[in-house]
């Protein structure tokens, strides 16, 4: 079989006696939009952190474009083309937004000769992509939560990832902000519209609780429960999957695909 674009093989992560991620395997194709869903505590964030090299898995492999990146350092993983955003946003509060983004791209693909002017141009493009270009010179500290989420995404895409991991991008957003960010994510995925960044489609792995919003934008869904993948398929298939519905029983979660 041809090499997958991105593949996780038998990944396991334990915290003491707790198996947070339990022998998880899946693939993501080039340019594919994949949702990772599951109840609280099912291991979604831990899995993302293992992929990004923030946590070291106990066993299993992460393969990106045919290369085993499992034990690589986070900064090398980002350089290689995978970036992520986190549930809790932590900007440099006293730096202007544009500098928050510049810091992110500085530590990654600053090519020889690429210095502040080019870096700033790239950072501004990333802000434009996420719809907050007008806030470039504002300190991050004054941004409302919705715009901070956009800033996080701008920081991640400024590193020009081929695979973007988003951990609860809609968390804490109101319906209007969620809708706007959903549109940005779709636009990001298509790429090309604002300048040079992402002229090719970007693959994404998105963790989110707001399933209705998520189902509108993804090609495929992976479902985690107690650290294990209990279902995968298209949004329509997942919405009918008995195991998945049971995992969510008792919660007011409607897995609406249409
Ligand atoms: P999710 O993102 O799906 O809500 P997490 O990956 O955050 O789930 O957590 C999975 C399990 O691992 C939970 O039981 C959580 O308490 C535990 N866990 C997560 N991070 C740590 C940690 N750093 N130390 C110990 N236990 C952790
Ligand atoms: Mg989480």
The CATH number of residue 73's host domain is 3.40.50.300
CB 35 within 8 A of CB 214: yes
Residue 176 forms part of a structural domain: yes
- The finding on whether 92 has its CB within 6 A of some atom of ligand 1 is no
Residue-wise pLDDT for 236-246, tens only, equals 898 888 888 88
Residue 124 lies in a domain: no
**CA 246 to each of CA 211, 225, 253: distance values in angstroms, whole numbers, following the listed order:** 15, 10, 11
Residue 157 has which token pair?
A: 């895409």
Q: Does residue 251 sit in helix, strand or coil?
A: coil
Kindly tell me if the per-residue pLDDT of 257 is higher than 50.
no
In a domain, 154, yes or no: no
**What are the tens digits of pLDDT across the range 110-159?**
556 667 788 888 899 899 888 899 999 999 999 998 899 999 999 998 88
* pLDDT at residue 252, as a whole number: 47
181 pLDDT more than 60:
yes
Q: How far is the CA of 211 from the centre of ligand 1 (A)?
A: 20
Span from the CA of 187 to the centroid of ligand 2 (angstroms): 25
Nearest CA to ligand 1 atom 7: 45
Q: Give the mutation target among 19, 24, 43 for probing the ligand 1 site: most ligand atoms within 8 A of CB.
A: 43
Which residue's CA lies nearest to atom 14 of ligand 1?
A: 41
Residue 222 Cα to chain centre, angstroms: 14
Exposure letters 92-125 (e unless 16+ CB within 10 A, then b)? eeeebbbbbbbebbbebeeeeeeeeeebbebbbb
Tell me whether residue 116 is in a domain: no
Q: d(Cα 151, Cα 1) in Å, to the nearest integer?
A: 39
Count of the separate structural domains present in the chain: 1
Both structure tokens of 144: 């409302």
Residue 97 belongs to some domain of the structure: no
15 CB near ligand 1 (under 6 Å): yes
Determine if ligand 1 sits within 6 Å of the CB of residue 45.
yes
Separation of CA 112 and ligand 2 centre (Å): 37
The Å distance, Cα 41 to ligand 2 centre, comes to: 7
What single DSSP character describes residue 192?
Answer: -
Q: Is 88 in the pocket of ligand 1 (CB under 6 A)?
A: no
- Taking residues 22-30, report their average pLDDT: 96
Within a domain: 221:
yes
Structure confidence at residue 142 (pLDDT): 95
Residue 103 has what pLDDT? 87
Q: What is the mean pLDDT of residues 100-106?
A: 86
- pLDDT (mean) for 216-225: 91
The DSSP bridge partners found for residue 206 are: 35, 166
Domain range enclosing 239: 6-88+161-248
pLDDT of residue 195: 46
Q: Over range 33-54, report the average pLDDT.
A: 95
Position 56 in a domain:
yes
Dist. CA 108–CA 184, nearest whole Å: 23
Find tokens 């960010």 and name the residue.
181
Per-residue pLDDT of 86-95, as tens digits, reads: 878 889 999 9
What pLDDT was estimated at residue 119?
A: 86
Max alpha carbon distance in the chain (Å)?
Answer: 57
Residue 53 CB–ligand 1 contact under 6 Å: no
In a domain, 233, yes or no: yes
């Amino acid at each position: 079989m041809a090499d997958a674009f991105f593949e996780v093989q038998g990944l396991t992560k334990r915290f003491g006696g707790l198996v947070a991620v339990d022998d998880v395997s899946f693939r993501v194709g080039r340019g594919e939009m994949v949702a990772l869903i599951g109840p609280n505590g099912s291991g979604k964030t831990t899995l993302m952190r293992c992929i990004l090299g923030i946590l070291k898995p106990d066993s299993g492999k992460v393969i990106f474009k045919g290369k085993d990146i499992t034990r690589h350092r986070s900064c090398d993983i980002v350089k290689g083309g995978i970036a992520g955003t986190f549930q809790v946003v932590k900007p440099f509060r006293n730096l202007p937004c544009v500098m928050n983004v510049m810091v992110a791209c500085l530590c990654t693909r600053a090519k020889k000769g690429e210095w502040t002017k080019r870096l700033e141009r790239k950072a501004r493009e990333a802000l434009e992509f996420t719809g907050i270009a007008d806030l470039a010179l504002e300190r991050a500290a004054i941004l409302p939560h919705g715009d901070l989420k956009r800033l996080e995404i701008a920081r991640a895409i400024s590193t020009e990832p081929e695979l973007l991991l988003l951990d609860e991008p809609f968390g804490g957003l109101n319906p209007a902000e969620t809708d706007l960010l959903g549109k940005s994510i779709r636009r990001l995925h298509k790429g090309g519209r604002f300048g040079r960044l992402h002229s090719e489609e970007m693959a994404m792995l998105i963790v989110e609780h707001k399933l209705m919003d998520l189902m509108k934008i993804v090609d495929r869904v992976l479902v985690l429960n107690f650290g294990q993948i209990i279902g995968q398929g298209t949004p329509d298939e997942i919405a009918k999957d008995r195991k998945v519905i049971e995992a969510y029983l008792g919660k007011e979660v409607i897995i609406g695909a249409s």
